């Protein structure tokens, strides 16, 4: 019985050997047989005895994997919203500055004037109108009602053709000391920067004259004329008149007329009426 089992085992081993040989042969026919070496290569390591196996070598392979994720940027979207909202607002505010204080003249002033003087009274018949000039000095403020003024007036009467024989180049000088009354009416007729004035003037006059012909008293109301002396003669008298003025800043224009009179002892009253245009400076 034991023999039978050994025979079967040998048969099975032989069959397996035959099958393995056939498979190996088939592989050799399809593939090129690689040369093999029958020589044994000893493996040893320094420091170890023969026959000792070298320690196992571990090769570490590190695999780096880079995943690149590329994100494509979305196209830029430009939303353009243009809002036009134009509001035009004009605020017109006119601010009226406070009026500047007007600087008014005050105190001392002086001035010059010129014009023409007409004879009257005892001077009327033998004389005619002639040129006149004047210089004045005074004291008065723009808002003062009363002021004072002194002036010197010079006149050269003209010749009358009927009495040319009596003429001898006469001259008259009048020295006047006056009170000036300025009326507070119509002051701003020409605006705030100009000051309009109406005034009256009058006072004492001392008259000097030479070579002045005049009509003298004659018996029975007759007419007689004196030729006049070449020497200066003196008479006391008076003057009265008025004028208009227009001032701005420290300057004043004026236009005035008055009567300058004296009473000779042997003649009717002698009068001069000058019409003067002048300027004062404060």
Residue 236 lies in a domain: yes
Q: How many helices, marked H, and strands, marked E, lie in the chain?
A: 1, 12
Span 18-32, average pLDDT: 53
Range with the largest mean pLDDT of 62-76, 100-114, 222-236: 222-236
Tell me how long the chain is.
Answer: 282
The CATH number of residue 172's host domain is 2.40.160.20
User: Is 136 among the domain residues?
Assistant: yes
Query: In degrees to the nearest 10, what's the CA dihedral of 281, 186, 204, 237?
Result: 120
Give the torsion sign (CA, 148, 242, 199, 248). Answer: negative
d(CA 159, CA 169): 9
Res. 221: pLDDT tops 70: no
Select from 245, 270, 273 the least CA-distant residue to 258: 273
125, HSE (Cβ side, Cα atoms, 13 Å)? 15
For residues 45 and 55, give the distance between their C-alpha atoms in angstroms, rounded to a whole number. 8
Number of neighbours of residue 142 by Cβ within 10 angstroms: 18
Q: Is residue 123 part of a domain?
A: yes
Q: In angstroms, rounded to a whole number, what is the distance separating the alpha carbons of residues 216 and 163?
A: 14
Put simply, whether the predicted model's pTM sits higher than 0.75 gets the answer no
Instruction: Indicate the number of domains in the chain.
Output: 1
- The three-state secondary structure class of 99 is coil
Cα-trace Rg, the chain: 73
Give the structural domain span for 187: 108-281
- Using one digit for the tens of pLDDT, what is the confidence trace for 38-92? 555 555 544 444 445 455 665 665 655 655 556 565 555 555 656 566 666 665 6
Q: Which helix (H) or strand (E) holds 22?
A: helix 2-30
Tell me whether residue 45 is in a domain.
no
89-109: average pLDDT: 66
Q: Which two tokens stand for residue 212?
A: 């002045």
- Give the residue among 233, 272, 240, 267 at the shortest CA–CA distance from 155: 272
Convert the pLDDT of each residue in 147-191 to its tens digit: 999 999 999 999 877 777 777 789 999 999 999 999 988 888 888
Distance CA 73, CA 70 (A): 9
The SS3 call for residue 275 is strand
Distances from the Cα of 184 to the Cαs of 72, 112, 179, 257, in angstroms?
A: 97, 24, 16, 20
Whether 152 is in a domain gets the answer yes
Q: Which residue has the tokens 């001077």?
A: 123
């Amino acid at each position: 019985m034991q023999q039978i089992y050994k025979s079967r085992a040998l048969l099975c081993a032989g069959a397996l050997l035959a099958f393995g040989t056939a498979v190996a042969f088939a592989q050799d026919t399809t593939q090129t047989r690689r040369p093999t070496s029958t020589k044994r290569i000893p493996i040893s390591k320094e420091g170890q005895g023969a026959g000792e196996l070298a320690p196992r070598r571990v090769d570490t392979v590190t695999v780096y994997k880079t995943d690149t994720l590329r994100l494509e940027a979305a196209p830029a979207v430009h939303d353009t919203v243009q809002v036009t909202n134009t509001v035009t607002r004009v605020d017109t505010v006119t601010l009226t500055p406070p009026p500047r204080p007007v600087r008014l003249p005050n105190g001392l002033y002086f001035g010059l004037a010129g014009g023409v003087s007409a004879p009257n009274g005892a001077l009327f018949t033998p004389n005619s109108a002639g040129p006149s000039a004047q210089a004045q000095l005074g004291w008065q403020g723009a808002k003062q009602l009363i002021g004072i003024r002194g002036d010197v007036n010079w006149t050269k009467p003209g010749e009358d053709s009927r009495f040319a024989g009596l003429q001898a180049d006469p001259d008259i000088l009048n020295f006047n000391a006056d009170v000036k009354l300025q009326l507070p009416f119509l002051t701003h007729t020409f605006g705030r920067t100009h000051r309009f004035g109406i005034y009256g003037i009058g006072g004492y006059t001392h008259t000097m004259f030479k070579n002045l012909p005049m009509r003298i008293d004659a018996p029975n109301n007759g007419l007689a004329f004196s030729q006049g002396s070449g020497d200066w003669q003196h008479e006391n008298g008076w003057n009265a008149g008025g004028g208009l003025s227009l001032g701005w800043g420290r300057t004043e224009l004026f236009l005035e007329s008055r009567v300058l009179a004296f009473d000779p002892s042997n003649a009717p009253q002698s009068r001069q009426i000058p019409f003067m245009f002048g300027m004062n400076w404060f």
